[in-house]
Amino acid sequence: MDKTENTYKMTIRLSPLTEFRLDRDYSLDGSRSKNEFIERAIIRYLDHLEAGQSEILPIAIQSAIDGRLGMFEDRMAKLMFKQTVETDMGLTALLSYLNIDPDYLKKLRAESVKNVKATNGRLTFERKAQEQYDEGEDDLWQD
């Protein structure tokens, strides 16, 4: 049986750029002819549409990823809430014993924002302690 007996002849129009790319690249996926390449491309695209795929991933995979990300987001939100509560408790306890000037707090916040930006958020307790120690040594020499 001849393969052409079960095929449908169709004429297509392509832009010059698309025709150039087709002529240049049709064999890259193993196609032996431009017709075979075009048929493979159409089948892939139809499979893509029939599978209900999003731009890149099938709906089932995208849905699973969205679900996992939603669970991760919920978990992170709970952890951040707990951390913020603990921070608030610590700050409240500390500030209940200190008498800090509001202007000093504004200056401290600006300095902290600068430090976080300069370190891309990678601050450590040890690094801050070393900075305080280094500043203390400078003060000794200025006296």
Do 45 and 7 belong together in one domain?
yes
Q: What is the pTM of this model?
A: 0.41
- Asked whether residue 8 falls in the same domain as residue 45, the answer is yes
Residues 128, 95 within the same domain: no
Same domain, 105 and 91: no
- The yes-or-no verdict on residue 79 having pLDDT over 50 is yes
Count the domains in the chain: 3
Distance CA 109, CA 91 (A): 14
Note the pLDDT of residue 4: 58
- Residue 143 banded pLDDT, cuts 50, 70, 90: very low
Containing structural domain, residue 21: 3-50
Residues whose CB falls within 8 Å of the CB of residue 115, separated by 6 or more in sequence, listed in order: 123
Q: 37 and 64 in one domain?
A: no
Half-sphere exposure of 78 (CA within 13 A, CB side): 6
For the cut 80, the answer to whether the pLDDT of residue 19 exceeds it is yes
